[in-house]
Amino acid sequence: MPLTIVDDAPLAPLTTLELGGPARRLVEAPDEAAVVEAVRLGDERGLPVLILGGGSNLVVSDAGFDGLVVRIASRGRSFVAHGGEVRLEAQAGEPWDDLVADAVARGLGGLECLSGIPGLAGATPIQNVGAYGQEVSETIRAVRALDRREGRVVELAPAACGFGYRDSAFKREPDRYAVLAVAFGLRPGAAPRLRYRELEDALGARPAPTLADARAAVLALRGAKSMVIDPRDPNRRSVGSFFMNPIVPAAEAARIAAQAAPAEMPRFPAGPGLVKVPAAWLIERAGVSKGFRRGAVGVSSRHALALVHHGGGTTTALLALAREIREAVRARFGVVLVPEPVLVGASL
């Protein structure tokens, strides 16, 4: 079937923030072959290409995108025994939480703490999506992608993906790869891996929590923070966490904690000599409160790390608020927060 290209296509309705201008061209790709064809078409015509999934981690400028947007709509998943694991292969357009729910229902461990995260499967390796002590890099066994530089479809092993904290080779080279499918290695009959204190506390009354228990607890925790998509939630227009949690040397963490005194700063080990500091805690201690609002944009009333659009706003206003928050944290603690979502046509 030939590709259908739409001119001057609105992008705001295709993002969870519901902000941003139009795309010069937009094409919906219903399968892997169409994704490859559309990206190659854009490259051949010399157009900038933006791969759009669920739009849940995207901040589009008010000017929009002067190029070709390829909206991923490929579907399909399979579960196959592979050694001592079960291999889940998912097309890039599979809704992420549907995959997690399916894996949990089959008694397959490895994704349960990533429940409730909006977006599509193909985006998860790009951001190395993580929550409640799990990251997708722990279970990813291969990523199939179009290598735009070499002009061919490749299968990348985890080592070639360059995973880091909310980072990957795909994120560092956004114009090189278009993710087509992802393979995960899951553990049959596994118990949930509980590494996050808040989740452990939520499951504390259960002596032997199941994968389903862990999923239910994560969904409840995320829901309480407006970190799931709910059309009834006044905080619903967001990209989730707007800033990444800083990872700093232990000595730097001690300095930040001393500046925060007498408040006790939460901190988490993040590797040899490294400490993860909660960005939401820094934001609130820098004087930015949950529920703060400036016109049509503001801070979530449930989580200081989420910036929200209340309707009728602009990306310019949202980014101005983000800069103000970043500056408040820098002035108070000497820490520069880094945005987590992808900024299209804009910067901080």
Q: Percent of the chain, pLDDT > 70?
A: 100
pLDDT recorded at residue 64: 98
Positive/negative CA dihedral, 108, 51, 167, 264? negative
**206 pLDDT band (50/70/90 cuts)?**
confident
Domain residue spans of the chain: 5-72, 77-224, 238-344
pLDDT recorded at residue 321: 98
CA-CA distance, 51 to 148, in Å (whole number)?
A: 12
CA nearest 225: which of 309, 308, 282?
Answer: 308
Q: What is the mean pLDDT of the chain?
A: 96
Per-residue model confidence as pLDDT tens digits over 294-332:
999 999 999 999 999 999 999 999 999 999 999 999 999
Q: Which entry of 148, 241, 285, 326 is annotated as an active-site residue?
A: 241
Can you give the pTM of this predicted structure?
0.93
Topology annotation, domain 77-224: 3.30.465
Assess whether pLDDT exceeds 90 at residue 260.
no
pLDDT recorded at residue 1: 65
The token pair at 115 is 């429940």
Q: Crossing angle of helices 96-105/211-224, nearest 10°?
A: 150
Q: Which entry of 25, 166, 215, 236 is annotated as an active-site residue?
A: 166
Assess whether pLDDT exceeds 90 at residue 282.
yes
**By the 8 A CB rule, do 49 and 334 touch?**
no
Distances (CA, A) of 238 to 63, 76, 88, 100, 274: 19, 28, 29, 22, 29
Mean pLDDT of 173-198: 95
pLDDT recorded at residue 49: 97
Assess whether pLDDT exceeds 80 at residue 2.
no
C-alpha 4 chain-centroid distance: 28
CA-CA distance, 237 to 219, in Å (whole number)?
A: 18
pLDDT recorded at residue 109: 98
166 is catalytic: yes
Per-residue model confidence as pLDDT tens digits over 156-169:
999 999 999 999 99
Mean pLDDT of 190-214: 91
How many other C-beta atoms can be found within 10 angstroms of the C-beta atom of residue 99?
A: 20
Assess whether pLDDT exceeds 90 at residue 262.
no
pLDDT recorded at residue 261: 82
CATH number of 238-344: 3.90.78.10
The token pair at 336 is 């520069």
3-state class (DSSP) for residue 159: helix
Mean pLDDT of 262-283: 92
Q: Which entry of 28, 32, 89, 340 is annotated as an active-site residue?
A: 340
The token pair at 327 is 């500056």
CATH number of 5-72: 3.30.43.10
Give Cβ neighbours of residue 233 (< 8 Å, ≥ 6 apart): 226
Assess whether pLDDT exceeds 90 at residue 96.
yes
Assess whether pLDDT exceeds 90 at residue 39.
yes
CA-CA distance, 285 to 277, in Å (whole number)?
A: 12
DSSP 93: T
Which residue's entry shows tokens 């729910």? 101
The token pair at 292 is 């703060």
